[in-house]
Copies of this chain bind each other. A is one copy, B any other.
Amino acid sequence: MTTNARHESDDEGDAGPGTRERIVVATSRLMQRQGYSGTGVKQIAAEAAATLGSVYHFFPGGKKELAVAAIRHGEREFAEELARCLAAAEDPADGIAACARSLAGGMRESDWADGCPVASTALGVTGSVPDIRRAADEAFTHWRSLVAERLREHGFAGDDARELAYTVISTLEGAEMAAQVARDEAPLRIAGAHLARLVGLYAAAPRS
């Protein structure tokens, strides 16, 4: 694209992250806490230590384009954590429970400020900004594919794996929101235990 976009993730040697990446990270963090409408472009510029001109230079599509980039950034971040949890556990059920614990840890460490960046960015504009809705849908779809693939590796039937992946991601999303609103990790702890049991049930008796 522009002369400054080298490959994908910029690598500026020892100069720290490039301007574009700082803007994306700032957008993601702010919209995670305040949502799309609650976050201003000027606030993003300030948080990223960039000027308004730079923001619109890299994102001529304005706030909507910023939100899409932020959702994709949050998508990659959680995908990495999810893959780590699933790979580290012998059993997929344990991996899912570990992921729930990881989410609970992140929420507690941020004093319940950092929920799902995709959900908080997309909710409230799914009906009016199609690009944002689509980016959020793609994020959920990718996360589900990671879960389903791990389940299939472990011998689950394809349909079971696909359906369980839906409920795993839905439940983690809902429990994270409940935890944020309650300022209590109980919803995530309980969700992790129940999801592990549900997955174990399908491992033992494949189809209903």
Interface residue SS majority, chain A: helix
A169, B174: Cβ atoms closer than 8 Å: yes
A194, B177: Cβ atoms closer than 8 Å: no
Q: Which residue of B lies closest to A34 (CB)?
A: B124
How far is it, in angstroms, between the C-alpha of A193 and the C-alpha of B166 when the chains are bound? 11
A21 to chain B: closest CB distance in Å? 24
A181, B37: Cβ atoms closer than 8 Å: no
A207 to chain B: closest CB distance in Å? 11
Q: Which of A81-89, A90-98, A114-122 contacts B (4 or more CB under 8 A)?
A: A114-122
Among B140, B164, B198, B208, which residue has its beta carbon within 8 angstroms of that of A178? B140
Q: Within A160-195, which residues are at the interface with B (CB < 8 Å)?
A: 163-164, 166-167, 169-175, 177-178, 180-183, 186-187, 190-191, 193-194
